[in-house]
Amino acid sequence: MTGSLVEPRLRAVAHLVPPGSAVADVGSGDGRLARWLLTRGCIVTATEKTRAQACWLADAVSGTAIEVVEGFGLRPLQSRRLDLVVMTGLGGRSIARILEDPSVAPSWSLLLQPMQDLTALSQALRRLNRGIGRACLVRSRGRLYPIVEAPLGVAWNGGPPGLLDGLGPWLRSDPLWSVWRDHALHRHAEDRGRAGSGRAPVSPNGGRQ
Ligand SMILES: C[S@@+](CC[C@H](N)C(=O)[O-])C[C@H]1O[C@@H](n2cnc3c(N)ncnc32)[C@H](O)[C@@H]1O
C-alpha cells in the first residue's frame, strides 16, 4: 500500500505512533491504518466487533503479519501487552462507550481520532481521569478532525467544562485552531437554537449529540 492511498487523517495518526511499537487498532475496518502501521515496523493487532467483520478484515489483511481478533472494544485485548491502543473513524460517543466499558479498564496509552462528538469523548476521559499528552487537528478530504493522545499515567489535565469540554486548551496552539473554533462556535450557536426548538444538538463536526 502506498502512502497516497491512505487518507491524511490516518496518515497523521500513524505518524504519531512510535515506530516499532506494539499497537492495537480497535475497529480497524478494512485495515488501512493497520497496514500502514506495519510499514512503520509496528507489531499490529487489528480488531473488529463481530465475527463477520473480523473475517472480512482478516481477508483484507491476509498475507501480512497483522493479527486479527474479534470482540467488542477493548475486551479482546484484556491480557495483552501493548504500547498503544488506537481508535480512528469512530464517533466520540462510541469511543467513550468502549473506554468506559465496565468489563475492561483501558490500561494502555491511547491515540484517538473521533469523527464527531468530541465533547462526549473528553467527558469520558475526564471521568476516567485520563489526561491529554497532545492534541492536534488534521485536515482530511475537506474536513477537520481532532486527534487526541492520552498517555498512560497522565491524570485529567483538560480545561473546564464548556465548548469542546476541556480540549480547547490543547487544540488552541494548532495552526487550524481558528478554523476549527469558528466552525465549533457556529455549531454551538446552532445547537442552542435547536435546544430551543427541542431538536437534538449537533457536535462541532456535524454529528448528532
Ligand atoms: C467507520 S469504521 C472506521 C474504520 C477505520 N478505523 C478508519 O478509521 O477508517 C468503524 C469501524 O469500527 C468498528 N467498530 C465499531 N464499534 C466497535 C466496537 N465496539 N468494537 C470493535 N469495533 C467496532 C466497526 O465495525 C467499523 O468497522
pLDDT digits 0-9 by tens, 26-57: 999 999 999 999 999 999 999 999 999 999 99
| Ligand 1: residue whose CA is nearest its atom 14 | 27
CB-based contacts of 21, cutoff 8 Å, min separation 6: 42, 43, 83, 84
| Phi/psi of residue 149, nearest 5 degrees | -100, 130
Q: What pLDDT shows up at residue 51? A: 98
CB 56 within 8 A of CB 32: no
| Ligand 1: residue whose CA is nearest its atom 7 | 89
**One-letter identity of residue 191:** D
How many Å separate Cα 83 from the centre of its chain?
16
Return the CATH number of the domain spanning residue range 3-161: 3.40.50.150
- How does residue 9 score in pLDDT terms, banded at 50, 70 and 90? very high
Full-model pTM: 0.89
- How does residue 201 score in pLDDT terms, banded at 50, 70 and 90? very low
Q: What pLDDT shows up at residue 200? A: 45
For a mutational test of ligand 1's pocket, the pick from 11, 48, 77, i.e. the residue with the most ligand atoms closer than 8 A to its C-beta, is 48
Query: Which secondary-structure segment (H or E) carries 182?
Result: helix 177-197
Upper half-sphere CA count for residue 72 (Cβ side, 13 Å): 10
- How does residue 192 score in pLDDT terms, banded at 50, 70 and 90? low
Residue 202 pLDDT exceeds 50:
no
Nearest ligand 1 atom, CA 50? 25
From the CB of residue 75, how many other CB atoms can be counted at a distance below 10 Å? 16
Set of cell numbers at residue 60: 483484507
Mean pLDDT of 111-127: 92
| CA 90 to centroid of ligand 1, rounded, Å | 6
Mean pLDDT of 112-128: 92
CB 109 within 8 A of CB 47: no
Q: What pLDDT shows up at residue 33? A: 98
Provide the mean pLDDT of the chain.
88
